[in-house]
Chain A
């Protein structure tokens, strides 16, 4: 027993990072072994009112506890508009891999349309044998499939390009990422029914919102894993996420997962819409811009601890966060508590799925001194998440989009956590 206990608390990297075995064996006793500190005893237990009188009656649609009101999205809109902008997921207040639907991030270009599902139509046309129109009743009768997939805005984490580190938390910097279970129909099934003309090489997808948000993508993606989704986390897709129909292009930048999907047009080439030219292109120092940067790269962020979650005195903490890649599964996540000088392997919470977020966990014995926490993801293709210096050397700091650099959180002796560049 003693043998095991000692190895359970084995330090694997500087500044108190412990072996992930602690999580893999799930042995809580082991944590205590080396780390029990003098603590005052607990107060006598009270029998509270809710233990004595009946609770609230049933209600039609459950809501979070009133004590959790601060678990909410934050948003910013373009001047003079209500719904042209984005709302962010509070990752520092969540755990697990699924984002609750009501907290899924939102990027909308002209508000959330109030779509009558009976009047909604999906049109498939262009380079097809016969153009087709589907009602939602029609679509509801097709064979469905479900998959868990992240959606990340290409502009997520763009704040880390700023020359000086912003005084901002994980929600403000990385909140344009969420992960849901999506259920719907393979797009390829509908395209086959319309009859794909061999000249069709690209697909235009368009929303029924007032902005008519539209993007092009290569037909290979349509025939691979693209889905038209009716359900998110078991219920109909939420209005802010595309009710009643949303395109899912797993791993591709959020903007391409067109919400309120009304039209699919097969074309010979890209349509060159505003959101694939003016926006969502990466301007390099040379003055040229990268276009059609579709999958999001391997990336990870530490959500706990992070700014706003003050570390309360030396002792044991779980460092945890999210890792994902638009190119497949996460292979490993390393964590550093000394600003990248030494790294330890984090435990990956099952399930580890392709193009979904993976929760990672690392045991940390904080000694109360300053620390800089970082995480570094490697995906199954061998891609390693770059440092800030590496990404800026590659693309400069004016790219806006696809920022997947390593995030550094400094923990001060006071326990306060801050965004820093390290």
Chain B
């Protein structure tokens, strides 16, 4: 009987320790505060509203040169693909049951994602090496190749979030059982 009592008393203590959120004042608090300025080099994500877009700008023409020098070897001439992902075309291929061609132009809902992704991950073997101007430029070039912006348009922190991607309304938030 005494054994049983000990056991019953011990179980809740363990459960509490493992599941209850530790109140902040009891927390170890070992993190060091950092200023916005000192963390800026890591804060590279761009929201769909353009939050986080840096200063700078680029034109379609400038982007064509960046693409030829730094992207074409893997993504093909004018982004046609091969050996790696195709970046252009496919509009109209999403409905039905034939294989869909999902590209920046046919599938991506936000142009801001293009800036975010290219700056962090491309060119594959030298990621984070492009200047902000180069990223804006190559983004402008890819949008133009997809017929989304005219050749005269410049991409910057103001214009990029305003670009309406053809598939902006193409996504439905999943709900289980629906």
Binding site for B on A (CB under 8 A): 78-81, 84, 109-110, 123-125, 130-134, 138-139, 141-143, 145, 186, 188-190, 192-195, 204, 206, 210-212, 214, 223, 262-263, 265, 267, 269-274, 277-278, 281-283, 285-295, 327, 396-398
Tell me whether B174 and A291 are in contact (CB under 8 A).
yes
Q: Name the CB-closest residue of A to B23.
A: A192
Beyond A123-B39, A396-B97, 15 additional pairs, beta carbon < 8 A: A110-B121, A123-B34, A132-B32, A188-B21, A189-B27, A193-B27, A194-B31, A210-B128, A267-B47, A271-B47, A272-B112, A277-B110, A289-B107, A291-B171, A291-B174
Q: Which of B110-159 contact A (CB under 8 A)?
A: 110, 112-113, 116-117, 120-121, 124, 127-128
B64 to chain A, nearest CB (A): 22
Q: Which residues from chain A contact B124 at a C-beta distance below 8 Å?
A: 81, 84, 110, 210
In the complex, A149→B96 CA distance in Å?
Answer: 37
Q: Which residues from chain A contact B171 at a C-beta distance below 8 Å?
A: 277, 281, 288-291
In the complex, A403→B32 CA distance in Å?
Answer: 43
Tell me whether B21 and A285 are in contact (CB under 8 A).
no
A-B pairs with beta carbons under 8 Å apart, 9 shown: A79-B83, A131-B35, A138-B30, A211-B120, A277-B107, A285-B96, A285-B97, A287-B95, A294-B174
Q: Does B33 contact A (CB under 8 A)?
A: yes
Tell me whether A141 and B173 are in contact (CB under 8 A).
no
Q: How many residues of B contact A (CB 8 A)?
A: 54
Partner of A269, one of B18, B47, B94: B47
In the complex, A125→B24 CA distance in Å?
Answer: 16
Binding site for A on B (CB under 8 A): 17-18, 21-24, 27-36, 39, 42-48, 74, 83-84, 94-97, 99-100, 102, 104, 107-110, 112-113, 116-117, 120-121, 124, 127-128, 170-174, 176
Partner of A272, one of B21, B29, B99, B109: B109
Q: Name the CB-closest residue of A to B95.
A: A287
B32 to chain A, nearest CB (A): 5
Q: Which residues from chain B contact A125 at a C-beta distance below 8 Å?
A: 34, 39, 43
Q: Which residues from chain A contact B100 at a C-beta distance below 8 Å?
A: 283, 398
| Most A-side CB within 10 Å, residue of B30, B74, B84, B176 | B30
Tell me whether A210 and B172 are in contact (CB under 8 A).
no
Partner of A141, one of B18, B28, B35: B28
Pairs of residues from A and B, 7 with the lowest C-beta to C-beta distance, nearest first: A132-B31, A287-B95, A212-B120, A79-B83, A287-B94, A138-B30, A274-B117
Tell me whether A291 and B173 are in contact (CB under 8 A).
yes
Tell me whether B116 and A274 are in contact (CB under 8 A).
yes
Tell me whether B127 and A273 are in contact (CB under 8 A).
no
Q: Which residues from chain B contact A79 at a C-beta distance below 8 Å?
A: 83-84
